[in-house]
Structure 1
Amino acid sequence: MAVHLRAGEALRLWQDVAVTETRAGRPDLSLRQAAILLTIYLDPPPHTIRGLAARLNVSKPVITRALDMMGALKLVSRHRDERDRRNVLVKRTVEGALFVERFGDVIIASAREPSAP
């Protein structure tokens, strides 16, 4: 499905979502953390720290720091790959799936009812 927005409309939508999330008082993610989380939930698994770093063109420590925070929020979990103990698999959680779904709902609601400038 193609969505056609002018730059100003796209930015207003992003602002509306950011304001809604800020007002909700839930833990918020940095843009980098959100990109990592959405990659984990929208791209097919398996996900590894090495693979996420390559996909997002960032270092493995950047991914590890983000996963530390998201793990504390129970949005993702990490486990050793039993087939290759050198790899750490990043797995989805129920809490994370609900977080991503709710975030999608906020985007849809903001797109349907944009705020006034």
Structure 2
Amino acid sequence: MSHVLTTAQALTLWHDVALAMVRDDEPDLSVRQMSILLTIYLEAPPHTVRDLARKLGVSKPVITRALDTMGKLELVSRRRDEKDRRNVLIQRTVKGALYLERLADTIGKLSQKL
């Protein structure tokens, strides 16, 4: 059985999650960066800059800048595709997986309050 949130509940949940993210010690990611990170972790690999740009409807430089930031935070890593050296594969990291696991826990806990 699914629970459909009202508009107010959905916005309250988003607000509460955003507030929790601001208050914790985790890195602050933009909505674009979070979308990219979630795509990498929720959708089956392989992930390339080109594929992510197409999927999110943004330019390749936008993806590259976001990956630069997330790479410095060790949330993702990149390596050259051995099969096609023109491609760079974006890979999950343990730190990125733990970041999203903590985020999911926060969302779960806050959704219980609605």
Shorter-chain-normalised TM-score: which range? over 0.9
Post-superposition CA distance 1:2-58 (Å, at most 9, x none): 330111110000000011111113211000000000000000000000000000000
TM-score normalised by L of structure 1? 0.94
CA distance in 2, matches of 1:3, 1:64: 37
Q: Does 1:60 align with 2:63?
A: no
State the distance in 2 between where 1:3 and 1:103 align: 20
Q: Which residue of 1 aligns with 2:76?
A: 76
Residue 91 of structure 2 is matched in structure 1 by: 91
For 2:86 and 2:7, the matched residues in 1 are separated by 44
Identity of aligned residues (%): 60
d(CA) in 1 for partners of 2:8, 2:45: 35
- Root-mean-square deviation (CA), in Å? 1.0
How many residues in Structure 1 have an aligned counterpart in Structure 2? 114
The residue type paired with residue 80 of structure 1 is R
Within 5 Å, which residues of 2 pair with 1:24-35? 24-35=24-35
SS in structure 2 at match of 1:89: strand
Task: Name structure 2 gaps, 5 residues minimum.
Answer: none
Using structure 2 for the length normalisation, give the TM-score: 0.96
Structure 1 stretches lacking a partner, 5+ long: none
- 2:17 matched to 1:17? yes
Which letter maps to 2:40?
Answer: I
CA deviations 1:54-101 (Å, max 9, x no partner) are 000000000000000000000000000000000000000000000111
